[in-house]
């Protein structure tokens, strides 16, 4: 990632021209003249973008695990967190949550010893248990698509671990000590299916290798009262100044090292005091830029959604990417996905088309609850998925929106009604479209909102979103 002065200057102009496509805080432009900034400033901006996933993952881990026992959306390190129902509008731990699967998740630290995850026989039910390292790379993903539905056990080992594993346990080596197991089990949301999925969740086990095959109970967690449990994680990260941010980044890199492919970037960051395995040397960073670097860097991250150099496609007002889960040295793309969809899967498992504005002739206008919209799928052209598909409603910060029927997403499980010609209309508006159309209603807030489509296990046979042979219809004013 080479962040030149010219590129950022031109990007800044583009940001002003396309402001309606970005979250509200993207308009709070940092006060800095890009042309006059020093090389040190640009290096610091690059370093901020580089470290954004690791810092965000750590702050997410702190909030989620800062409890004594697993309950609701939180649980201590090494405890399986079993969401018993879909998250609601009060959920702020992770941006862009879903309302299609029951999360079955855990954070583990594999620095001292491996942890063994055992998954029960899922039979024909769709599920996946992606394992993310500290940099948000999905390094393994057992699930229906990859390993089938049978019972299976995996030992998640640290970067330097060597040893023997019990028979029947497969090793998955993590590049970092922080590991986020972000399991999802599909559920149709009915009381009967909730009960069935709860049983599967209860049959999942997670134990340190030394306790495998033994009667073991995870110890209670320790609560740190200094951790902010109310403010959204993204806000907590974004309000750090450069000193606080880079100090944490350097500390995290001691047990969560960059990859060999990052060597060129790491060599460059040493110029401003960022060296893996060492404390941050703040004396090498110009004090004048301490507060400006985070502002400018985050705006550059969000700008990548619109000006992505091919990383994000724009089809009929839907932006989507097939570059998720594994990023290599594409640090901007990795940071963007962290900001708007932390925990994203590999594209073979899920693609997330996102729409921020409705199609109006050659132009588009940001969605607003004062208007009524319709999305029409022609006959036989619903999203092609072997797992499931849905469309989720978010506010302009990528969180759920309260509504009278507690519906945060819409999919085939709503028993969608079709038109006489076989097409299917999805009504996107603040007020109910009426009893006859309510099965096809995705409730919107009264102000700005964002739509995200989920296509899990996209069909790779045409028509497919993976190769562009399936075209997403535009959302239009009703």
CA distances from 77 to 81, 179, 219, 428 (A): 10, 10, 9, 40
Tokens matching residue 216 = 């073991």
Mean pLDDT of all residues belonging to the chain: 91
pLDDT of residue 163: 95
Query: CA-to-CA distance for 294 and 291, rounded, in angstroms?
Result: 6
pLDDT of residue 26: 40
Residue 336 pLDDT grade (very low, low, confident, very high; cuts 50, 70, 90): very high
Tokens matching residue 190 = 């009915």
Q: What is the pLDDT of residues 215-265, one digit of tens each?
A: 999 999 999 999 999 998 999 999 999 999 999 999 999 999 999 999 999
Whether the predicted pLDDT of 423 surpasses 60: yes
Residue predicted with more confidence, 250 or 11: 250
Whether the predicted pLDDT of 31 surpasses 50: no
Is the domain spanning 5-60+231-303 CATH 3.30.160? The answer is: no
Q: What is the pLDDT of residues 39-70, one digit of tens each?
A: 899 999 999 999 999 999 999 999 999 999 99
List Cβ neighbours of 284 (8 Å cut-off, separation of 6 or more): 271, 272, 273
List Cβ neighbours of 134 (8 Å cut-off, separation of 6 or more): 53, 54, 57, 58, 176, 177, 178, 179, 252, 256
Residue 37 pLDDT grade (very low, low, confident, very high; cuts 50, 70, 90): low
3-state secondary structure of 393: strand
Picking from 99, 20, 17, 98, the residue whose alpha carbon sits closest to that of residue 448 is 20
For the domain spanning 67-211, the CATH number is: 2.60.40.1610
What CATH architecture is 322-477?
Sandwich (2.60)
Residue 19 pLDDT grade (very low, low, confident, very high; cuts 50, 70, 90): very low
Q: pLDDT exceeding 70 applies to what percent of the chain?
A: 92
Residue 1 pLDDT grade (very low, low, confident, very high; cuts 50, 70, 90): low
Exposed e or buried b per residue across 55-74, where buried means at least 16 C-beta atoms within 10 angstroms of its C-beta: bbbbbbbbbbbbbeebeebb
For the full predicted model, state whether its pTM sits above 0.75.
yes
The domains of the chain are located at 5-60+231-303, 67-211, 322-477
pLDDT of residue 97: 84
């Amino acid at each position: 990632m080479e962040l030149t002065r010219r590129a950022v200057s031109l990007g800044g102009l583009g940001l002003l021209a396309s402001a309606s496509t970005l979250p509200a805080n993207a308009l709070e432009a940092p006060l800095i003249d890009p042309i006059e900034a020093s090389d040190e400033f640009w290096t610091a901006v690059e370093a901020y973008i580089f470290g954004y996933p690791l810092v965000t993952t750590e702050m997410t881990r702190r909030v989620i695990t800062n409890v004594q026992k697993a309950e609701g959306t939180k649980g201590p390190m090494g405890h399986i967190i079993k969401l018993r129902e879909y998250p609601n509008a009060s959920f702020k731990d992770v941006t862009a949550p879903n309302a299609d699967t029951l999360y079955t998740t855990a954070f583990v630290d594999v620095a001292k010893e491996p942890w063994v995850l055992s998954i029960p026989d899922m039979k024909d039910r769709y599920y996946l248990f992606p394992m993310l390292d500290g940099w948000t790379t999905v390094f393994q993903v057992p699930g229906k698509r990859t390993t089938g539905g049978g019972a299976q056990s995996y030992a998640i080992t640290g970067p330097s671990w060597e040893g023997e594993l019990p028979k029947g346990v497969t090793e998955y080596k993590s590049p970092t000590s922080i590991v986020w197991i972000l399991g999802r089990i599909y559920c149709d949301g009915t009381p009967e299916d909730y009960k069935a999925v709860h049983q599967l969740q209860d049959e999942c086990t997670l134990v340190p290798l030394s306790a495998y095959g033994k009667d073991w109970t995870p110890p209670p967690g320790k609560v740190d009262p200094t951790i902010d449990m109310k403010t959204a994680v993204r806000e907590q990260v974004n309000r750090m100044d450069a000193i606080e941010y880079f100090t944490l980044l350097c500390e995290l890199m001691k047990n969560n090292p960059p990859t060999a492919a990052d060597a060129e970037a790491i060599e460059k960051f040493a110029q401003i005091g960022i060296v893996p395995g060492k404390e941050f040397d703040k004396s090498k960073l110009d004090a004048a830029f301490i507060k400006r670097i985070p502002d400018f860097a985050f705006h550059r991250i969000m700008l990548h959604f619109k000006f992505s150099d091919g990383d994000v496609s724009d089809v009929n007002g839907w932006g989507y990417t097939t570059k998720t889960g594994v990023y290599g040295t594409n640090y901007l793309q990795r940071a963007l996905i962290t900001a708007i969809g932390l925990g994203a899967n590999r594209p073979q498992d899920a693609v997330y088309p996102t729409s921020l504005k409705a199609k109006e002739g050659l132009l588009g206008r940001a969605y607003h609850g004062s208007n009524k919209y319709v999305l029409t799928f022609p006959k036989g052209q619903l999203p092609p998925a072997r797992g499931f598909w849905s469309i989720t409603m978010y506010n302009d910060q990528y969180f759920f929106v309260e509504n009278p029927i507690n519906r945060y997403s819409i999919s085939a499980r709503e028993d969608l009604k079709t038109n006489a010609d076989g097409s299917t209309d999805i009504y996107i508006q603040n007020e109910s479209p009426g009893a006859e159309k309510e099965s096809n209603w995705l409730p919107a807030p009264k102000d700005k909102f964002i739509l995200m489509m989920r296509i899990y296990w996209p069909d790779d046979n045409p028509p497919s979103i993976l190769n562009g042979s399936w075209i997403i219809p535009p959302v239009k004013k009703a």
